[in-house]
Chains A and B, each alone.
Chain A
């Protein structure tokens, strides 16, 4: 079932590429074989065909894991919760980059995300976050003269 859903997603993406490639000009100053859409058409058709094979094949699906154990169920939702928190924090950090001071923002991001998952020695974690952030800032901006956001 997982493969079928993936195939539908990839086929939709390839269809998007295919339709847009069809709208590209077919006559160019280099003749019809220089048309920019030729290769994208070929490639998107191959992607569609391969995904159709994946969607239609009879693969012996693994027997679904019987979640009878309440702990396992809990672990699964706990892991997804951790994933969701990580994604939200990472996206917020990138969104705020460039709008706030780099050292302050990065120190807060690293220490907060670390402390959410590692609830020990908070002072050491905060201190490490600030020092590492300053280290990154110093290496990129001062030592290698590369501008940071």
Chain B
């Protein structure tokens, strides 16, 4: 069955299954709510729903998780526009133009433009799942242990560079710390228990979900409870944008929208680099190519459109390597990968062989979730904003309880809750010292892949490292690693020299 065939077939199947549609609808709605609440990120939302959908059929659970993921990335735009605080990190670029628009009385227009652009971004993303994922899948089939080992290192390094552009060294340290800590537990080749110190609970390694909830959830809770300043809410719907219709906005921005969608997808494909980077990069590109760059930062519709199109397109981009390489493109996609494992779907190069319909089905889930998101966004979006009137001091303890409960129910043991807290404190410490969380989490996920494949590669080549440079894909990835490091370091050193002169 080809991908397009399975895509359309599953759309029809979903539309004729009211229970599945109902489950997707409430998951998408929950996602929007999670996105609206500052402090609750898409990662946390997908993680909590993973535990809730534990007993659901695999496809229903995956569809719901995609719904909550898309919903959360979109929902964050609501808060970004009316509160000037991104609901999720993905909406940071949205605040730049969304909030000035809202403050000048165009809150309704800005919210609806963001909804439409998020919808278009998601549809562009779904198109890329159908077209790009099978191609990447075919390429992944050529991968051997050498390529997977280098890919793990490449992913960690590039995630480190892009998520810590001001100080990539900190990004790399975070990434390699993640890789190192992931070595805890029984090793996959010899079953030797590493760093377990006789503790049976550590034999299976540290579960991904407690780490993700800890690193992303706890620092946010602590930061919010610690903060004493209150944000300004711009819920002013008094003016309508009479000089521009929604159709006119799309027509005027068509090139910007397509470019932002493509940029979003491709940044999503890069391991560990998520929606936040995608929206900033496309915002920057939109500003550079705009005829009215002076409007950026003062309520530019172009800027708002590019940020919102890119972050939702990036969701699809982040899912593509999950399906084809078992490498997550972003943090929420990492949870999605864990959820696929939990439901017995082995993502990676063999997915198109073991589950040939899966790529088309995921694209179909994506499309339906997008339609639901747009409907909810246009119809009941203002209702969600009421939640912003609930004080953070009440919300955060509730979110903490959800983090604890969500982690506990995964395996029904308090050990995971303690692990979550431990990684939460580590995450808080890292955030205080400007270490990005994304490369740490990506390193943690890719650690076992790096470990088994590096040793397998060494065993196959009897200790020779030569195949790493004689195999084309491995060589390309190695060159890319060198270029990424060089691009971050050399200009700085030159710059420093010039400054000294």
A contact set with B: CB distance below 8 Å: 2-3, 6, 10, 13-14, 17, 20-21, 24-25, 28-40, 42-44, 46-47, 50-51, 53-54, 57, 75, 78-80, 82-83, 86-87, 90-91, 93-94, 97-98, 106, 109-110, 113-114, 117-118, 125, 128-129, 132-133, 136, 139-140, 144-149
Contacts and interface: CB of A to CB of B under 8 A. Distances in A.
Nearest to A135: B398
Nearest to B499: A60
A78 to B, nearest CB: 7
A59 B488 CA distance: 15
B458 interface: yes
Contacts of B447: 43
Is chain A's binding surface mostly helix, strand, loop or mixed?
helix
A38 B194 CA distance: 12
B52 A140 contact: yes
Interface residues of B, number: 55
Q: Shortest 9 CB-CB distances between A and B: which pairs?
A: A118-B393, A33-B458, A117-B393, A36-B192, A146-B409, A113-B397, A39-B451, A36-B187, A43-B180
B459 interface: yes
B400 interface: yes
B411 to A, nearest CB: 11
B21 to A, nearest CB: 19
Given A30-B190, A128-B394, 6 more contacts: A3-B433, A21-B194, A33-B463, A37-B194, A50-B173, A118-B394
B398 A132 contact: yes
B1 interface: no
B54 interface: yes
B183 A98 contact: no
B180 A40 contact: yes
B229 to A, nearest CB: 9
Given A6-B433, A10-B177, A98-B414, A144 B54 contact: yes
Given A94-B417, A118-B394, A125-B394, A43 B183 contact: yes
A135 to B, nearest CB: 10
B335 interface: no
B228 A75 contact: yes
5 contacts: A38-B455, A40-B180, A40-B194, A43-B183, A47-B180
Given A34-B459, A43-B179, A106 B401 contact: yes
A125 B396 CA distance: 13
A14 B409 contact: no
A49 B417 CA distance: 32
B433 A36 contact: no
Given A86-B226, A148-B409, A136 B183 contact: no
Given A39-B455, A47-B176, A114-B394, A54 B170 contact: yes
